[in-house]
């Protein structure tokens, strides 16, 4: 019933009913929060909190010229928005740590560890871009599962494939990304 409710509310929001858009957001808020929390838990850099990530993603979607068709499409769009926000934050973090002639001293933070986390995230983004060139569906599976927190059945419905195909795609995508990131690490060394 919730899937239908979100879809109906999104359709009403598309027709100009702002309250319906707010209600749809409320229905998926916890799932967005959960995805954002998982995403941020993986990062060492704690400059972005869960609520801020969800809010920024919502603002990006609210001002985008893209209308969500249904709940899964909305979550897919939100996962893309969260990915872009997290990547932009990592880029800003690295730029601040490397830029200028200011000496930054801290007694509590391990800056090298934070910088490595941001570098890893940017390497993942680069590898994901390469994966999208090679196989867009595999890249979507990664983005929706890793950044958006969608489940295999949700991804399967969106792609029109079976859960088993999504699991197979996830394995192939992870192998590709790990190889690509290992190759980048070897090139940097």
Mean pLDDT value of segment 132-154: 91
Contact 54, 34 (CB under 8 A): no
pLDDT at 45: 58
pLDDT at 31: 85
CA 134 – CA 73 distance, rounded (Å): 23
Of 26, 18, 41, 70, whose CA–CA distance to 146 is shortest?
41
pTM of whole model > 0.75?
no
10-45: b (≥16 Cβ within 10 Å) or e: bbbbeeeeeebbebbbebbeebbeebbeebbeebeb
pLDDT at 57: 87
pLDDT at 187: 65
Q: What percent of the chain has pLDDT over 70?
A: 80
Q: What percent of the chain has pLDDT over 90?
A: 22
C-alpha Rg value of the chain to the nearest Å: 18
Does residue 170 register a pLDDT over 90? yes
What confidence tens digit (pLDDT) does each residue in 113-130 have?
Answer: 445 567 888 888 899 999
Mean pLDDT value of segment 94-116: 49
């Amino acid at each position: 019933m919730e899937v239908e409710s979100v879809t109906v509310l999104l359709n009403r929001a598309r027709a100009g009913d702002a309250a319906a858009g707010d209600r749809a957001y409320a229905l998926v808020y916890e799932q967005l929060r959960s995805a954002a929390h998982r995403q941020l838990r993986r990062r060492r850099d704690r400059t972005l909190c869960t609520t801020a990530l969800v809010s920024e993603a919502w603002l990006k979607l609210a001002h985008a010229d893209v209308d969500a068709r249904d709940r899964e499409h909305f979550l897919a769009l939100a996962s893309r928005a969260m990915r872009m926000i997290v990547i932009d934050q990592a880029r800003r973090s690295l730029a601040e740590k490397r830029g200028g002639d200011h000496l930054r001293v801290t007694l509590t933070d391990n800056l090298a560890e934070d910088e490595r986390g941001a570098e890893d995230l940017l390497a993942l983004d680069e590898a994901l871009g390469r994966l999208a060139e090679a196989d867009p569906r595999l890249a979507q599976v990664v983005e929706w599962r890793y950044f958006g927190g969608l489940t295999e059945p949700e991804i399967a419905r969106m792609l029109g494939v079976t859960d088993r195909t999504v699991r197979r795609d996830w394995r192939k995508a992870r192998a590709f990304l790990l190889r690509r990131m290992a190759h980048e690490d070897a090139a940097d060394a």
